[in-house]
Amino acid sequence: MKLDPSLLHLECVPCEFTRPMDNLRLAQNLFQLMMKSNGIGLAANQAGVNARLFVMYVDREAFHCFNPEILEHRGATITSREGCLSYPGDICEIVRSATILVKFANARGIYQEREFTGLAARCFQHELDHLNGITMHDRVIEGV
């Protein structure tokens, strides 16, 4: 598996849970690619896979996020610098919510809700944007 920008501007299709071992294998492959690329998050479409899945490793915790969504933006927004494995060397100032309440499934389709703050919240929002066909450059251009 390698980085493949061909699907970056498409909204990804929801994951199904009829083959959980295949889901887990895909998530593990994405995780390995992310670590090899020195990233903290990677969406499936960044690797050329049209699926609503991303992985992230923040605050010493690994996440496989299938069909993720943000349930609530909480508190203030923060402007910070972001990079992206799909755009090596590019850094953009992006406004994001400091705290979010999210929902995502594991490889078997079991959902959980979780609150993320700080870097975890920023990473979740960045990767979810990818699944919606939005890049960090789009956020800068739109002024969002």
Q: Active-site residue numbers?
A: 127
3-class DSSP assignment, residue 8:
coil
As a whole number of angstroms, the distance between CA 78 and CA 30 comes to: 28
Helices (H) and strands (E) in the chain, counts: 3, 5
As a whole number of angstroms, the distance between CA 120 and CA 57 comes to: 8
